[in-house]
Chain A
Amino acid sequence: MTHSLHREGNLEKLERDFCVFIYPARGFNNKGSGPKVSKLFEIFYGNDASNCSSTSLRENLYSKVTPEEMLEAIRKDADSARAYATFNSREKVKNLLIQMKKADLGVSIMVSGMIDKVREITAEAGLDPHTINLSLGVHGRTDLLPPPDIRQFTTMCGHAVVSPHLVRQAIRKVKTGRRSLWDASVELAKPCACGIFNPHRSAEQLRDLAPIYTVSRW
């Protein structure tokens, strides 16, 4: 599952787009890890996550579940809970990493983001990262892909359940005044069960695209 690795978009916006993952290792330290994941999830929430989810519920922040319900589900999920979140600033990620380091719970933490930004953040947080996963691009029938301005939304859900049709519909709704930038972004975030679709980045992108799109259907 490298579902946050291939996020596309302009560099200026990607610099403010981070995903963080809490991941106990199956067969190594997952037994009884629920309370640790729960504590780390609280750190997510305390640092103003743009979106978040856990595998215990598979409902994201915009699915009408409360953070308390998310935490309770994680605590009950003793051996297999994992949690994901997305953030829209390097400072938030730096602060949460400092807190996670201090908590010293021995659970693997992953950060997806611009390499140079993550390098700065980890240096400031006093961390020495272990492994890097690099994206080597898309190959094959790339001519069949939706255009890059649509992919900058759809690739925010690496499982590809945010549909290009839904993105086009969101642009049309914004353009015709039927949705605000934020409400349209929340609608786009709903299908992403992992909670790594970043509605803050989406709202900025919709603001950029709406003026230049024509309205045809939906």
Chain B
Amino acid sequence: MLIHEDVCVGCGRCQPYCPEGAIGYLGLKSVVDQVACVECGTCLRVHVCPVDALYEHPLVFEYPRALRKFFSDPAATHKATGISGRGTEESKTNDVTGRVGPDEVGIAIEVGRPTLGMNLHDVQKISRALAKAGITEIEECNPIHSMYANPETGDLKPELLDERVLSAIIEMSVPFEKAALVLRTAKEVAKELDSVFTLDIFSTLGPNLTIQQRILDLLEAEGLPWRPNAKINMGLGRAGE
């Protein structure tokens, strides 16, 4: 995002809307720190500027800066998935797609969430740790997959690493037996990050919203307490409708 210096009246109304705190004063005018800006478009979308001084960066849809837009603006549709947002449909349509069956789990590592944002170097730290542990089942439909330079090592394309985004999700579906390794690797690499990630796991349910006991046992064994609120697929979907 950029601000027309000659139009800005320096009211500062746009500043608190920036999730990254990238808008501040330079003299009497508001300016956007181009390193910190993640191109989420929030300041523009809320129509808070009284003189329309905000405008999008001319390179906002040019590679690699476009990564900022696709991973930060919830209204932007990513080319790799065709859907808006930063991940895929994962558990939301599992009643239709059967993407994760009864003997599998889906795991997502949501880097930069909540609130902080992150530099893509952090994603590479995690992708390298996963690859080193022999975990290569990264979801192909997730935009992260197309950012890999070498899936064997977990290296991302080097030109992307300096880009800053609000969040990106490393998603995978693995056999239940492999879940402990993924969770343990994620916990271990967390110590090396400059930002944060949220971790989540999804699986099919038993009757009457009964969580599989082996999932609960796994989480207890790995020292990962689950929050009391969850996201639950109601089982109302059907394929071919």
Contacts and interface: CB of A to CB of B under 8 A. Distances in A.
Is this pair of chains taken from one and the same complex? yes
Interface of A: 1-8, 11, 14, 21, 23-26, 28-29, 33, 36, 55, 58, 80, 97, 100-101, 105-116, 118-119, 122-123, 127-142, 144-146, 151, 154-155, 158-166, 168-169, 190-191, 193-194, 218
B40 to A, nearest CB: 6
A123 B167 CA distance: 35
Chain B's interface size range is 35 or more
Contacts, number: 303
Contacts of B224: 136-137
Contact of B228 (A116, A165, A166): A116
Contacts of A116: 228
Given A142-B196, A151-B115, A107 B236 contact: yes
* Most chain A C-beta atoms within 10 Å of own C-beta, residue among B84, B93, B190, B200: B93
Interface of B: 15-19, 21, 40, 42, 45-46, 74-75, 82-97, 100, 106, 108, 110, 112-117, 166-167, 169, 183, 186-187, 190-191, 193-205, 207-209, 211, 215, 219, 224-241
A21 B92 contact: yes
A123 B89 contact: no
A193 B230 contact: no
Contact of A108 (B93, B199, B229): B93
Given A115-B229, A129-B209, A139-B199, 18 more contacts: A1-B169, A29-B96, A58-B74, A106-B238, A106-B241, A108-B92, A112-B231, A122-B232, A123-B208, A131-B204, A133-B202, A136-B183, A137-B224, A138-B113, A154-B115, A159-B74, A160-B167, A163-B18
